[in-house]
Chains A and B, each alone.
Chain A
Amino acid sequence: MADGASRPIRAALWPALVLIALLALAPALSIWLDDPFTVKIATRIVIFAIGAVALDLTLGYAGLVSLCQAAFFGVGGYVVGILAWHQANSEAVLAGWMGSSELALTLPLAFLVAGLFAAAVGAVSLRTGGPYFIMITLAFNQMLYYGAVALQKYGGDDGLQIINPLTLFGYDISNRYKFFYLALTMLLATVLLIDRLARSRFGVVLRAAAVNETRAIAVGVAPWPYRLVAFAITGALAGLAGALLAASQQFISPADMAWDRSGDFVVMTALGGVATVWGPIIGAAAFIFTELSLSSYMQHWQLPFGLIILAIVLLLRGGLAQLVDLARGAKKGGEAVHD
């Protein structure tokens, strides 16, 4: 991204673990408040946080603005939905296999299939750069969106209902508290994976190439394969998040993969603060809270929401994560020395 040069190096893992620990209290809060809605919101936050943290690998570390995240999210959701549909209708998916509603199988499959889609999209999109990359990922998002609309057998525009109960290692997972902890475990895994990648040589290459591709190449590092792997990992984790959403609401529809949903992911990641693993968690939480509270007051909640985002972007250039830095009195680490 353009302001990569002034982006501070702040990659602490512990704030993300604190946030996850706080989120883990949501079911207790839900029981105490006697409000089942609380845990539903928390589940939604956790699911979107997985997609946002994953997007940060591409957006924050590699500096590539992708508008295809929702499509991979939807692909993951449809993998879970379609496999459950085949089991419910006793119709073979391929070679006599009747599908499955076992999440221990369908979640990894959703991760894999979305990752393959992302690798294919990335292989083409990463040939371009800058605004062209944004446009081509947007185009792929629309292609996959209309691809889902065209799936008449699986509900087309109306979406796909999951009617059979989903299981995890044979155990019913429809209990919303159990499901919440499943999603939270996935978020923890995502955070640990992205943090590990960002600190590795792999992450160093992504970050270096984000600010100066020519110099990365001049020390012998061609960034293209690194970016492709990052894009595929981001897409695969989006697929995992989409699979969890489909499982949690027992429903997936093309609306979950519309291009503006891709924009939402970018907003969540940027809102919380790019190039941290915890910023996107705050971003996802803030986004979903704001969406909920504003939409209960007015129909056109996007208008004040847009103003709030503008204010955050203009006043806190490091996103919401910068609030914590300010509170700690930490010096902003990225004052570039210009010659």
Chain B
Amino acid sequence: MKSATIRRCGPLTSGMDEAMLLDIRNLEAGYGAARVLFGLSLSMREGEIITLLGRNGMGKTTTVRAICGQLRPVGGEILFKGARIEAAPAHRIARLGVGLVPEGRHIFPNLSVRENIMMSAIHRPQKKESWTFERVLSFFPRLAERLNNGGSQLSGGEQQMLAIGRALMTNPDLLILDEATEGLAPIIRQQIWATLENLKKTGLSMIVIDKEVDSLESLADRHYVMEKGEIVWSGSSAELEADARVRDTYLSV
């Protein structure tokens, strides 16, 4: 019944490699005996914004952890800017240009706001247009007023801004945001979405995971829907908006 509307992503042809920023092929990963990802494949070009959609427990965060090197995959390949990274240590992947805003924010509570941001600049790759302290603060003026405050003294929204600022300061070519608006007041969520729109204008490639599908549709170029560790649907924002069945089947809580 649903098969008519579901397009499975087949393996990608190798000829597409060079244009791809991120290319994941048949990724299998899990925690000990518990397998979470079963042959996941997805890819994105430079400058694209994609989303991972799906209910809780379908493997979105596990995918992110595998990309960032925090979880060693048991099978498959991850190519970032053409280089295999699935076996690379996490700090090397970060230095290659993968920036992560983790679920739960996890800023350093015992460092000041200034030190939290400074920490990211220590081993980052050099770029023509590096993120500077001032540029990060121009995106988040509220942080400028809190520079010498401890990370643990910030509100939830400020912590989220700091988590994004910290990830930007690593000079990422790919920014991954895992549930960046979770647990925040509506007005703060709006600010975060506005910030992501601004980042989009700079041409930054992003993978965004969030529960607010409507906001994602206006921000992102393409969407991948996950179900039980696999990609079961992918398409543009217009296609997702038009496809009530996908929304009902995989995204309704």
Q: Which residues of A contact B (CB under 8 A)?
A: 4-9, 201, 204-205, 207-208, 210-212, 214-222, 275, 333-337, 339
Q: A334 to B94, Cβ gap below 8 A?
A: no
Within 38-52 of B, Cβ neighbours of A (below 8 Å) are at none
Judge whether B105 and A220 touch: CB under 8 Å: no
Q: Do B156 and A220 touch (CB < 8 A)?
A: no
Q: Determine the chain A residues whose CB is within 8 A of the CB of B105 once the complex forms.
A: 339
From 119 to 147 in chain B, residues with beta carbon under 8 angstroms from any chain A beta carbon are 119-120, 122-124
> Counting CB contacts under 8 A, is B204 at the interface?
no
Q: A214-B106, A218-B70 are in contact. List 4 more A-B contacts (CB 8 A).
A: A207-B108, A216-B119, A218-B68, A337-B152
- Min distance, Cβ A246 to any Cβ of chain B, angstroms: 37
As a 0/1 sequence over residues 88 to 113 of chain B, the CB contacts with chain A under 8 angstroms (1 = contact) are 01110011000010101111111110
Assembled-state Cα–Cα distance A172/B241 (Å)? 88
Q: Hey, which chain B residues are within 8 Å of A6, CB to CB?
A: 109, 152
Could you count the A-B residue pairs with CB atoms below 8 Å apart for me: how many are there?
103
Tell whether, in the assembled complex, residue A204 and residue B118 are in contact, meaning their CB atoms are under 8 Å apart.
yes
Residue in contact with A334 in the complex, picked from B108, B152, B156, B167, CB distance below 8 Å: B152
Residues on the B chain within 8 Å of A212, using CB: 106, 108
Residues of B contacting A211 with CB < 8 Å?
Answer: 108-110
15 A-B pairs, CB-CB below 8 angstroms? A5-B110, A9-B110, A9-B150, A201-B118, A201-B122, A211-B109, A211-B110, A215-B102, A217-B89, A218-B70, A219-B122, A219-B124, A221-B91, A222-B89, A333-B153
A181 to B170, CA, bound (A): 47
Q: Given the known A-B contacts A211-B109, A336-B152, are A219 and B104 also in contact in the complex, defined by CB atoms under 8 Å?
A: no
| Residue among A220, A221, A335 facing the most chain B CB atoms (10 A cut-off) | A220
- The residues of A that contact B210 with a CB separation of less than 8 Å are none
A7 to B116, CA, bound (A): 15
Query: A214 — which chain B residues lie within 8 A by C-beta?
Result: 70, 90, 106
> For B104, what are the chain A residues with a Cβ–Cβ distance below 8 Å?
339
Complex-state Cα separation, A319 to B224, whole angstroms? 52
Contact with A along B144-187 (1 / 0, CB 8 A): 00000010111110010000001101100000000000010000
| Complex contacts, A210 vs chain B, CB 8 Å | 110
Q: Is B115 an interface residue (CB 8 A)?
A: yes
Chain A residues with Cβ below 8 Å from B155 are 337
On chain B, the number of residues with a Cβ less than 8 Å from chain A's Cβ atoms is: 38
**Cα of A339 to Cα of B170 in the assembled complex, Å:** 25
Q: How far is the CA of A212 from the CA of B91 in the complex (A)?
A: 14
CB nearest neighbor in A for B170: A219
Instruction: Report the Cα distance A337→B151, complex, angstroms.
Output: 9
Tell me the bound Cα distance from A221 to B124 in angstroms: 9
CB-defined contacts of B118 to chain A, threshold 8 Å: 201, 204
Residue pair A5, B152 in contact (C-beta under 8 Å): yes
- The reply to whether B119 and A204 contact each other, CB–CB distance below 8 Å, is yes
Assuming A212-B106, A219-B119, is B111 touching A207 (CB within 8 A)? yes
Of the residues A5, A201, A217, A218, contact of B109 by C-beta under 8 Å: A5
Are A220 and B152 in contact (CB-based, < 8 A)?
no
In the complex, chain B residues 10-63 whose Cβ is within 8 Å of any chain A Cβ? none
A163 to B124, CA, bound (A): 56
Flag if B106 contacts A217 (CB, 8 Å): no
What chain A residues lie within 8 Å of B123 (beta carbons)?
A: 219-221
Task: Look across to chain B and name the residue whose beta carbon is closest to the beta carbon of A336.
Answer: B152
Please determine whether B108 and A215 come into contact, CB atoms closer than 8 angstroms: yes
Given A219-B94, A219-B167, A337-B153, A204:B115 Cβ within 8 A: yes
CB-CB nearest in chain A for B124: A220
